[in-house]
């Protein structure tokens, strides 16, 4: 049976601005069917790394908070700390970063709680008995919530390939220890003949796992490497540091299992924003030009159907002239505009592994009916 995915474009008018359309979308998609009365309701969102401007605007969160509060929910915005260095690796810096990017109890009309606590060690271990993960270390505030709502900025990802709802739930709700488990299969490789020895990967490795060898080339100590992928994203020279396809497949399957651990036995609802679709994750302190025009917003009770629909809508969209990263791939490989953009941007990834495995374990369906509202 096909899952229903509701969609609205970004066309507006004086009496139908984008926030009105967002509220109308989630109501048409059935969010009011959930009993929110006095329920602790986590809105899982990405607050954005300082310097990155592709993250979701707080205005969107304010509107969803308003809808939920009118339904009686005890709402909070949340995310877990990061595995890599940056502005969100502990709760103090994370909250400061959220504030820099405009998220606070006034702008969002809700409290912000970092789900895995001060140092990323506050978690609940959820029994999974999955094919790849026997348990999942989920941030305590998320695990202890009654209802899960996700707001996901749809974009690329250097290890997963595609960053949508499952990535937001599975990776984003994992504590630091959980993220280490998810990344444990990821061991980036340096193609030394292309490395110029600039040292940016050395400077940005949070785990001191990278040095320059006697020849001035990047050298990874795999005993220290956690597989967080920061070096892959931060390297300014294409193809110097990369993961491999097998790594991406296994990590995406683990993300699917962690996603199930987050939402199992709880009401959940998901919103995907196909706006400023950047080639990399919002975790980095920069964002490259969007790869396609802004498309719209989609919502569903089914995270698998939602991710599939969003990925396919973006694959069907034309490539923006300003997106040099995709234009170069098209010209070099003689691709056309409508091939798999996620594979074109990150050729060592297989994004479909997450939705395929999520469907296999009963998290949702890749078959969907797209309903425009």
Q: What string of DSSP letters covers 116-133?
A: T-TTS--EEEEE---SS-
> For residue 332, what pLDDT band results from cuts at 50, 70 and 90?
low
Query: How does residue 226 score in pLDDT terms, banded at 50, 70 and 90?
Result: confident
Tokens of 317: 């969209």
Q: How far apart are CA 7 and CA 12, in angstroms?
A: 14
25-34, 85-94, 108-117, 244-253: range with lowest mean pLDDT: 244-253
Per-residue tokens: 233: 């994203």
- 93-108 pLDDT tens trace: 999 999 999 999 999 9
Task: Say what the pLDDT of residue 78 is.
Answer: 98
Return the HEC string of 217-272.
CEEECCCCCCCCCHHHHHCCCCCCEECCHHHHHHHHHHHHHHHHHHHCCCCEEEEE
* pTM over the 0.85 mark: yes
Q: How many CA atoms lie within 13 A of 241 on its CB side?
A: 28
pLDDT above 60 (res 119): yes
| CA-based max dimension of the chain | 65
Q: Which helix (H) or strand (E) holds 3?
A: strand 3-8
Q: How many Cα atoms sit within 13 Å of 318 on the Cβ side?
A: 4
Mean pLDDT computed over 124-136: 94
- Say what percent of the chain tops pLDDT 90: 70
Both tokens assigned to 287:
């964002």
Between the ranges 93-97, 198-202, 232-236, where is the mean pLDDT highest? 93-97
- Of residues 355 and 229, which shows the higher confidence score? 355
Residue 329 has a pLDDT of 66
What is the number of other CB atoms lying within 10 angstroms of the CB of residue 212?
15
Neighbouring residues of 16: CB distance < 8 A, sequence distance ≥ 6: none
Residue whose C-alpha is closest to residue 189's, from 159, 219, 217, 160: 219
Which residues contact residue 77 at a Cβ distance below 8 angstroms, ignoring those fewer than 6 apart?
43, 45, 47, 61, 65, 103, 108, 110, 111, 112, 113
First to last CA, the chain: 21
Closest to 159 (Cα-Cα) out of 137, 191, 130, 188: 188
- For position 239, what pLDDT does the model report? 64
Please state the length of the chain: 373
Amino acid 358: pLDDT: 98
> What is the per-residue pLDDT for 233?
65
Question: Which range in 142-156, 219-233, 272-286, 324-338 is most confidently predicted, on average pLDDT?
Answer: 142-156
The β-bridge partners of 269 are 149
State both tokens at 346: 């990150």
- The token pair at 240 is 């110097």
pLDDT the model gives residue 182: 86
Please compute the mean of the pLDDT values over residues 176-199 and round it to a whole number.
83
Report, in angstroms and rounded to the nearest whole number, the Rg of the chain calculated over CA atoms.
20
> Of the candidates 4, 46, 14, 36, which has an alpha carbon nearest to the alpha carbon of residue 283?
46
Q: Is the pLDDT of residue 84 over 80?
A: no
């Amino acid at each position: 049976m096909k899952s229903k995915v509701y969609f609205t474009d970004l066309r507006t008018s004086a009496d139908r601005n984008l926030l009105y359309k967002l509220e109308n979308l989630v109501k048409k998609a059935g969010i009011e069917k959930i009993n929110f009365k006095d329920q602790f309701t986590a809105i899982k969102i990405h607050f954005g790394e300082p310097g990155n401007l592709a993250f979701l605007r707080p205005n969107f969160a304010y509107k969803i908070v308003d809808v939920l509060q009118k339904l009686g929910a005890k709402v909070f915005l949340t995310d877990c700390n990061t595995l890599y260095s940056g502005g969100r690796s502990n709760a103090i810096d994370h909250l400061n970063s959220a504030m820099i990017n405009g998220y606070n109890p006034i702008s969002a009309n809700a409290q912000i709680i970092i789900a895995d606590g001060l140092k990323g060690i506050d978690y609940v271990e959820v029994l999974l008995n999955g094919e790849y993960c026997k348990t999942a270390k989920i941030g305590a505030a998320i695990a202890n919530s009654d209802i899960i709502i996700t707001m996901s900025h749809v974009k690329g990802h250097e290890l997963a390939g595609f960053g949508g709802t499952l990535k937001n739930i599975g990776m984003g709700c994992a504590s630091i220890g959980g993220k280490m488990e998810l990344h444990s299969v990821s061991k980036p490789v340096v193609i030394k003949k292309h490395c110029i020895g600039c040292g940016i990967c050395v400077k940005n490795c949070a785990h001191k796992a990278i040095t320059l060898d006697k020849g001035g080339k990047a050298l990874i100590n795999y005993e220290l490497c956690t597989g967080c992928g920061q070096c892959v994203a931060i390297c300014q020279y294409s193809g110097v540091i990369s993961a491999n396809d097998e790594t991406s497949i296994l990590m995406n399957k683990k993300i699917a299992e962690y996603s199930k651990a987050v939402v199992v036995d709880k009401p959940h609802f998901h919103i995907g924003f196909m706006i400023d679709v950047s080639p990399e994750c919002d975790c980095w302190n920069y964002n490259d030009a969007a790869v396609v025009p802004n498309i719209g917003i989609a919502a569903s009770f089914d995270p698998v159907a939602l991710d599939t629909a969003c990925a396919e809508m973006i694959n069907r969209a034309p490539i923006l002239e300003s997106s040099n990263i995709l234009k170069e791939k098209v010209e070099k490989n003689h691709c056309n505009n409508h091939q798999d953009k996620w594979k074109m941007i990150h050729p060592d990834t297989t994004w479909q592994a997450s939705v395929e495995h999520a469907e296999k374990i009963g998290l949702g369906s890749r078959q969907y009916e797209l309903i425009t509202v």
